[in-house]
Each structure stands twice: as C-alpha cells, then as structure tokens.
Amino acid sequence: MPENGIAHTPPKILAPAGNKDAFLAALAAGADAVYCGLKSFSARMEADNFSMEELAALTRLAHRKNAEVYVTMNTLLKEHELERALSQLEKMTRIVNPDAIIFSDPAIPALAEAAGFKGELHLSTLANVSFTQGFAEAVQATGAKRIVLPRELNVEEIKSAAEAVPAGVDLEVFIHGALCYGVSGRCYWSSYMGGRSGLRGRCVQPCRRIYKQGHKNERFFSCQDLSLDTLVKVLLEIPQVTTWKIEGRKKGPHYVYYTTLAYKMLRDNGKDPKTKKNAQALLELALGRSGTHYNFLPQRPYNPVDIKAQTGSGLMLGRLQGSFKEPWFSPREPLLPGDLLRIGYEDERGHLIRRVKGSVPKKGKFHIAPQKERIPPKGTPVFLIDRREKGLKDAIAELAKEADAFTAEPVTATTARLPKVMRHKPKKGTRATTLYLFREDRHGPKNTEKATWISEKSVPKTRKAGVGGRWWWLSPVIWPDEEKEYAVLVKRLINFGAKHFVLGAPWQIALFPEAKRKGLHLWAGPFCNIANTLTAEALKKRGFTGIMASPELSQEDFRDLAKASPLPTGVVVAGYYPLTIARTLTPDLNPHEPFASPKGEESWVAKHGENHWLYPNWRVDITDKSADLKKWGYSLFVHMHEPIPKGVKLKKRPGEWNWNIRLL
C-alpha cells in the first residue's frame, strides 16, 4: 500500500520447512522465502531438519524459483560448541550460501564474520527485543538487518517498533502458527523439569499438559494457534514490516502449502470478499489448532488460552469408539490414502500414529489395527495431522527431481579460526560478592549485599541512604507500555547515586544514556542466557562490566565459561527461578493458589508489572558447589527470594537443575 504517495514492496511470505517435502511444498505454493534448520543449533531440533548437502540443493532450487532461504542458528551456544558452530557456518557459507541466518546468541555475528558469511543476519524472537529503545541497541550490538518481533505485541506496538527501528533495518512479524505460552527466550520450564531446553531447541512442551488446581483438571497454559487471517491487511500499512512469518517447522507439507497459499491470497487480493472467504477456508484445512488473533487488536484482545477450546494440533475428526480389541472411529471428513492420523494428544504418553491406506467416506468407519502399542481408551480424540493430496504430491515430486539435479560441493574441513578473547584476570585479593535479591526492601544475612527488583514501589521518590550501595535488577521483559516508567526509574536511581545494575536483556543498556554510564557497573543478568565467551566479549564491547551465566548450564559449562570469560562472572546459586514468564494468564487459573503437574509437582503464579511469573515450589540450590565456582573464577553469587503465597507448601528436594546433566 502507498505511504505518502510512494508504493512500497509487498511483504514477503516466509514459510517454514522442517524437512524436504515441506520445503518443496513451500516452493510449490509460491513462498517468497523459506526458513529451516540444519541438524545442529536450531531452535526446532525435534523437526527432521536438513543435512548440508540436502540444503545446498534445495537452496539452489529456491534461488532458481526466486525464493530466499534463511537458516536458523538460534540456540544458546555453549563454550565447547563454538568451534563446531564456526565450522558449520563456514561450510554453510561455502556450500549452501543462504540469504540470511536467523540467530539469538550474540556470539553468532562474530562467528559469521570469521566464517566469511556475506548474507544478512536476522535477530530471532528468542532474543526478546521487546521495547522501542532496544531496537537501535540490538542493531548496533549485532549488525542485524532484520528483527523478528515478539508474538505478544499488538499492532500499535508493532507500529511503534517500526518508528523506532533504524533506517535500513526490517521487521518480521508472526502471522500464523503455534503460540508458546511463555515469552520466547524467557521460558525455562522444559529445562527445569528435565534438562531439555527450549533455548536449545529441545522443548517438551510442558505448557500443553493438563494441570490440576482445586477440582479443576485443565490445560491452563495450552495456547490456541495464532491466526491473523484477514487482519493481516493492517500490516500492509507498515512498510518496515517486510516479512510475514508462518510458524511451523514441525508441520507437514500440507500445512505449509495451504497456509502459504492463503496468506499470499490475503496479501495480494485481500480486499476481495471471495478471496478472503477462500483464504479462510484454506486456513481451516491447514491442520493447525483453532485460531486466535491474540493481542493483535489492542481494543479487542483475546486470551490465547481457552480451556474449552480444542488445543490438539491437527484437525479433529472424531473420537475412538468400539471395544479394546476392535477400536474404530467415524471421521467427520473423508479420509484419503496417505493421510496421517494421531490418536490422542501429542503431549500424552500412549498416543498413536496411523497412516491411512485406503479411502474412507465421511461418517464411515476407520478401524485402528491393534499392534504392539496399548490402544488409548474409548473417547480419545483422533486428529488428522498431515495429508498428501495427489496434486500436492505430484508438485513435490516434480520439484524434487529438479533439486536432485543439483550437486553439492563436497563437505571439507573448515580453515576458519575463532576470534580471540582476552580472559578477565581478577585483581589479587578480590573477594566474592554475595547478593540477596528481594522484591521489597529487605536485608539479607550479614556480610551480604542487598539487591532489589526495580519497580515504582521499590524505588524511592526522594534520596535515601543505602540506594547507592544496592544492586538494582531490571525485569527480564520490558514491554512498550512499561518502557517510559523504567527509563524514569533508572534515571532517578542514577541521580540518587546507584552504581550497580543487573539487566534482564542485553538491549536494556539503551535505558542508560552513554553520558551517564561512566562509573556504573552494568551486569548482564541470568535472563540474558549467556553460555560462551564470544557473547561475553560482544557485551563487553557494548559497555557491560560483568556477566551472569545462564542458570541452565551443567557444571562443565559453568566451568568453561568462567575460566575463559573476558568479564567478571556471576551465578544464581539459590532461590526461586521462574519456570517461565508470560504476558497472559487464563482467568480459569487462580494465581494465589498452587497448581500441580501430572507428576504432582506444584507451582504458583505471581504478577509483576505486565508479566506473569510461574514458580516451582522448590528452590534452585547449588550453594554446596560454591567452592568449585569460586575456584573457576565466579565472583558474584546471587540468592533470589520471592514472596510465597499462603497456600503454597514448599518442598525440600534437590535444586541442582542441570548441574549433573549435559543439557540437550
């Protein structure tokens, strides 16, 4: 659409691909760009993903079809993985030559430069650039040419982001697909409960499960899919939004094909009533969950969690009937040969996958052939999760022939070298600092220092004794509506003599004017998800004076980071670390009462600012590892305290998190 009388380029439709057929389906639908991952360092490691040679052929085919290819390397990188990540980048640059890399770890720009990568860098939504002042800082710090916005932003906040983003930098907006309950990059639920980290692409989706509170057993955190459908026309008025992103790298080719087609129709001819109707029909056939506009319209927001809605992925076709020995169901839609069915919810043990071998009419009978698995009980829902229509199957086969004609360059060893980082050497006699972090003004034990979360309630309005010596912590997520308040509070604290600040995201350093930074101690906090020295070096260049390690790390990872870090290092040794941080909460859950997981693990919800924090009822506790941590070089030890609701009973259990686990 024109702005000031000048037409701008229509936004690209960016389609997901978790395997070869999905990639080819995206091209068959006419996607402008495809994003995908290799076998390592991708935030969707549960997808099939691609080998280097396979992706090289597909990328050449995409370029022939005038489509771009973006490769995701958007996981947290650990110290011992830097060499391997560099090797992958160098080989990918030489063999695949993608148009862009989607990344979240600030180490990637330095690795990409060392690898000779000449394409664009796109900053992932996992990096959590959530407030307007942060955009310029994120671009300066990383060299990103595009920022992928958080899914929680409404259209007015997206417009504010567009006004704030530096010239020549684009914005990418999610328009369709699964919604995470937690804010991207701020969810530790899967990691805390078993070492499979969402920041490492291994999330087991604990938010999709049934939880119990009182007499209710519900999916309190299972979101419906985002589906902007006809509302995408509003995004056409924002020229900085150059890319519409469809989520779904674990989805099949049917989903990719139909969602891509639908949004192309809505982009190119969305004013036509017939086109809109046809596009919406395609989206209903795409085999996702039921859709929601979420927060997109600020005057009419939707809570994405609806406990009455169906939140299983795929099209629900019916429920299991018959006996244990002869189970069957009657489909609400015709079944085609090759259809893939899931019997049960994907997050529940015992669900089955079955391929349809022959046609079944609507309201006919599909018999579930018993095999070695236990058949789910009568009443279990049955979902259609993938379909291979003949037309799409033929189109994929034809494109596959074209792709197979390309020969990839042999994969050889890389000659690139890691950038050098000068290790921080603490001065002789430097003592470790112990912090006790509270929401309110409280004192910790003797010989410890005080730390407080910044809020209007906690920051005094007039100068008071003790402000300057305290450590002040910023929220892990600052939303646009909170930005001005935080800027005012930070300014007030600096004027009152505060020197020590711990930031919840690297981009929050933008709240500290450069002219005011002299003499300040600015630490990148645990929510910055730091696990390697190149990230620490990047933060050092931006003015940080210390870093805190990601609490997800194993003992080896903690050791490797501190021993090589160019900055002083800190660690959370005890306290209540959140499972996840979210911008929404279903009204069906009482935040003042505990809720229990299927295994009986209890948690509770507390609201701070615009965010809902979910806490487990047992503490992180690696205080008995303090001697080792000091020996490796850690100098800041943090105890995080939270007000405990009256109804929550705390448990004594090991709180070592991933200390003895090689985090996947």
**638: how many CB neighbours lie within 10 A of its CB?**
24
Spatial separation of the C-alpha atoms in residues 188 and 607, rounded to whole Å: 17
The pair of three-digit structure tokens given for residue 548, joined into one six-digit string: 């805190």
- Category of 317 on φ-ψ map: left (φ > 0), alpha (ψ -120 to 50) or beta: alpha
Spatial separation of the C-alpha atoms in residues 155 and 525, rounded to whole Å: 30
Place of tokens 């209903």: 284
Which SS3 state, helix, strand or coil, does residue 483 take? Answer: helix
Span 26-64, pLDDT tens digits: 999 999 999 999 977 765 655 557 889 999 999 999 999
Residue 299: its pLDDT value, please?
Answer: 93
Which SS3 state, helix, strand or coil, does residue 278 take? Answer: helix
The pair of three-digit structure tokens given for residue 169, joined into one six-digit string: 């930098």
The pair of three-digit structure tokens given for residue 578, joined into one six-digit string: 């959140």
Residue 45: its pLDDT value, please?
Answer: 53
Span 238-286, pLDDT tens digits: 999 999 999 999 888 999 999 999 999 999 998 999 999 999 999 988 8
Q: What are phi and psi of 82, to 5 degrees?
A: -60, -45
Q: Is the pTM of this model over 0.85?
A: yes
Query: Which own/partner pairs from 35-40 qualify as long-range (CB within 8 Å, at least 24 positions apart)?
Result: 35/69, 35/70, 35/71, 35/72, 35/102, 35/245, 35/249, 36/69, 36/70, 36/71, 36/72, 36/249, 37/71, 37/72, 37/73, 37/201, 37/249, 38/71, 38/73, 38/88, 38/92, 40/84, 40/85, 40/88
Spatial separation of the C-alpha atoms in residues 526 and 551, rounded to whole Å: 6
**515: how many CB neighbours lie within 10 A of its CB?**
6
Span 520-532, pLDDT tens digits: 999 999 999 999 9
**Contact, 311 vs 180, CB < 8 A?**
no
**Cβ burial, residue 418 (10 Å; 0-12/13-18/19+):** middle
CATH superfamily for domain 433-576+626-640? Phosphoenolpyruvate-binding domains (3.20.20.60)
Residue 1: its pLDDT value, please?
Answer: 39
- pLDDT higher at 598 or 216: 216
Span 471-498, pLDDT tens digits: 999 999 999 999 999 999 999 999 999 9
In this prediction, residue 663 has a pLDDT band, given cuts at 50, 70 and 90, of low
**Cβ burial, residue 253 (10 Å; 0-12/13-18/19+):** buried
Look at 5-19, 287-301, 315-329, 531-545 and tell me which has the smallest mean pLDDT: 5-19
Which SS3 state, helix, strand or coil, does residue 126 take? Answer: helix
Residue 290: its pLDDT value, please?
Answer: 84
CA-closest candidate to residue 77, choices 115, 105, 101, 100: 105
The pair of three-digit structure tokens given for residue 509, joined into one six-digit string: 């350093």
The pair of three-digit structure tokens given for residue 257, joined into one six-digit string: 């094909």
Which SS3 state, helix, strand or coil, does residue 433 take? Answer: strand
In this prediction, residue 312 has a pLDDT band, given cuts at 50, 70 and 90, of confident
**Contact, 548 vs 569, CB < 8 A?**
yes
Which residues, 6 or more positions from 544, have their beta carbon under 8 angstroms from its beta carbon? 503, 506, 509, 522, 523, 524, 567
Q: Considering the domain 2-195+214-287, what is its CATH architecture?
A: Alpha-Beta Barrel (3.20)
CA-closest candidate to residue 33, choices 260, 269, 268, 241: 260
Look at 2-6, 188-192, 391-395, 593-597 and tell me which has the smallest mean pLDDT: 2-6
The pair of three-digit structure tokens given for residue 640, joined into one six-digit string: 């995080």
Q: Does the CA dihedral 621-623-624-627 come out positive or negative?
A: positive
Residue 410: its pLDDT value, please?
Answer: 74
Residue 68 has pLDDT above 60, yes or no: yes
- pLDDT higher at 349 or 363: 363
Residue 226: its pLDDT value, please?
Answer: 95
The pair of three-digit structure tokens given for residue 385, joined into one six-digit string: 């999760």
In this prediction, residue 2 has a pLDDT band, given cuts at 50, 70 and 90, of very low
Spatial separation of the C-alpha atoms in residues 380 and 329, rounded to whole Å: 10
Which residues, 6 or more positions from 567, have their beta carbon under 8 angstroms from its beta carbon? 424, 536, 539, 540, 544, 545, 546, 547
CA-closest candidate to residue 585, choices 310, 213, 308, 305: 305
Residue 3: its pLDDT value, please?
Answer: 44
Residue 72: its pLDDT value, please?
Answer: 96
The distance in angstroms from the start CA to the end CA of the chain is 45
The pair of three-digit structure tokens given for residue 405, joined into one six-digit string: 């004609």
Distances (CA, A) of 584 to 178, 193, 416, 484, 560: 15, 22, 45, 21, 37
Taking all residues of the chain, what is their mean pLDDT, rounded to a whole number? 92
CA-closest candidate to residue 163, choices 77, 240, 219, 221: 240
Greatest mean pLDDT among 308-312, 441-445, 619-623 lies in 619-623
Residue 46: its pLDDT value, please?
Answer: 56
The three-point CA angle 76-78-79 to 5° equals 145
Q: What is the residue type of 600?
A: G
Residue 440: its pLDDT value, please?
Answer: 81
Residue 518: its pLDDT value, please?
Answer: 92
Span 74-88, pLDDT tens digits: 999 999 999 999 999
Spatial separation of the C-alpha atoms in residues 316 and 310, rounded to whole Å: 8
Residue 383 has pLDDT above 60, yes or no: yes
- pLDDT higher at 635 or 346: 635
Span 514-557, pLDDT tens digits: 988 999 999 999 999 999 999 999 999 999 999 999 999 999 99
* DSSP E strand stretches across 421-568: 433-438, 449-453, 471-473, 500-503, 521-524, 546-548
**Contact, 477 vs 581, CB < 8 A?**
yes
The three-point CA angle 93-531-572 to 5° equals 165
The pair of three-digit structure tokens given for residue 388, joined into one six-digit string: 């291979």
Same fold, 2-195+214-287 and 433-576+626-640: yes
CA-closest candidate to residue 182, choices 310, 27, 304, 343: 304
**Contact, 311 vs 288, CB < 8 A?**
no
Query: Which own/partner pairs from 356-362 qualify as long-range (CB within 8 Å, at least 24 positions apart)?
Result: 359/334, 359/335, 360/331, 360/334, 360/335, 361/334, 362/331, 362/332, 362/333, 362/334
The pair of three-digit structure tokens given for residue 650, joined into one six-digit string: 């705390």
Spatial separation of the C-alpha atoms in residues 147 and 121, rounded to whole Å: 9
Domain ranges for the chain: 2-195+214-287, 315-390, 433-576+626-640
